[in-house]
Structure 1
Amino acid sequence: MFISSGKTYQYKGVTFDWHDYLGPIMLNRKTFNERPWRVVKRRQWALFAKWYKLSKEQKELYRIN
């Protein structure tokens, strides 16, 4: 089980926790368990980068908790 104090977002198939200090933690989109860094694909990092460039209001539209 993964417990987070960050905010969870789902953007175009990528699910992650975002913490302002610690940054992103990629999650499995079905179980919400943390994904090991070595299995996170470049495509997912590219989608995260697109989400990161959105405005604060737009980012909140993809928040799921």
Structure 2
Amino acid sequence: MSIGRIEKDIQRIKKEFSDISPGRAPRAEPVQEKKGSSPVIIGAAVVVIIIALLVLAIFL
């Protein structure tokens, strides 16, 4: 391939991308941060607390 052809291809690709997404995407939704803890983490915390209470009850 000649350099001129490669430059034309690059210009064509740049034009296609600028047609697809001019600047920032106008309809993009902001990423929602996950609020709260997942049920798995809450369940694991409850199990750990129960085990800790049982250990304390046995040794005290």
TM-score by length of 1: 0.26
Larger Rg: 2
Per residue, is there more strand in 1 or in 2?
1
Per residue, is there more helix in 1 or in 2?
2
TM-score by length of 2: 0.27
